[in-house]
Amino acid sequence: MPRSTPAPAVHHDLVLEPRDVQFDWSALPLHWIPDEPVATHVINVLHLLLPEGERWFVEVFKQALPMITDEQLREEVLGFIGQEAIHAEAHQEVLDHLLGQGLDPRPYVRQVGWLFRRVLGERPGLTAAQRRESVIERVAFVAAIEHFTAFLGNWALNSPGLDRAQADPTMLDLLRWHGAEEVEHRSVAFDLLNHLDPGYLRRVRGMLVSGPMLVHLWVRGARFMLAADPLLDGRIKPTWREAHLNAKRGLLPDLRLLARSAARYFNPGYHPTREGSSSQALGYLATSPAARAAAAH
Ligand SMILES: [Fe+2]
Ligand SMILES: [Fe+2]
């Protein structure tokens, strides 16, 4: 059976700093990519999934903390927890704004919450060994999901199509600040998984569960948002063809590139540092209006 390459040395230069950003959504139009409701709502699925999803990451990583025997990795996990906690709240504020604009995201968010808390949450009554196993299994899911958040983050940092379409600058900053931090901390979950269990099978299982789950949640989320949009009256149904056309115009990620990127996760020699660019991410964080304002506090 193939095994992953030896657990890579932890990156001793990685210091993860939670940036306590604030965004003002009061002027955000419902279709924040003007006249592009499909692209707007496909990206809006991030706001539906991330508050519950990233709070779940934080819970899983807090449960993993006592199992970490490498001090540097422990510091990185703490930085990761700090960043993800802020991400969750930043996206939660967008959900609150949508509700104020007459688009009620709560029915879908309740389902996402049920999935993360009930299905993927901590089970009561486990032995110590079962509990450890359950934590590592969930770390494998997080590591696979973080492959996608880094892919999406890298896309957000390289998405001039959104600027050409005159997407709302505050939303672009949210997407790129968050995307940059995803690229910045893209190796932490994978390194944690390797630290707790370097086995290839666990990694593969994490992707085989998380990949299809994310696609399913995204398709349902996009359908939900388009149906719930009070300006559309249910007139627009998303199609794969439309997603493809939007991707060609640079408004959405290219699904073929996404599939190819997911396939790389199965490569035994895979490591997240080979995806995306840390220097580009840090370069954006140095110019992001929200990150600069947070640094000035
Ligand atoms: Fe995040
Ligand atoms: Fe992340």
* pLDDT tens digits, one per residue of 155-186: 999 999 999 999 999 999 999 999 999 999 99
Q: Tell me, in angstroms, the distance from the centre of ligand 2 to residue 124's CA.
A: 26
- Classified as helix, coil or strand, 239 is coil
Distance CA(225)–CA(220), nearest Å, equals 9
What gap in Å lies between CA 238 and CA 28, rounded to an integer?
Answer: 23
Ramachandran region of residue 125, left (φ > 0), alpha (ψ -120 to 50) or beta?
Answer: left
pLDDT above 90 for 152: yes
Q: Considering every ligand atom, which ligand is closest to the CA of 88?
A: 1
What is the pTM for the complete model shown? 0.93
> What is the end-to-end Cα distance of the chain in Å, rounded?
52
249-277: average pLDDT = 95
Residues with beta carbon < 5 A to ion ligand 1? 84, 87
Compute, in angstroms, the gap from residue 173 CA to the centroid of ligand 1: 14
Distance in angstroms (rounded) separating the CA atoms of residues 154 and 143: 16
For 91-119, b/e burial (b = at least 16 CB within 10 A) is bbbbbebbeeeebebeebbebbbebbeee
- Ligand at shortest distance from the CA of 87: 1
Q: What pLDDT was estimated at residue 4? A: 44
Confidence band for 33, pLDDT divided at 50, 70 and 90 = very high
Number of Cα atoms under 13 Å in the Cβ half of residue 282? 9
- With cut-offs at 50, 70 and 90, classify the pLDDT of residue 234: confident
Q: Give the Å distance between the CA of 288 and the centre of ligand 1.
A: 16
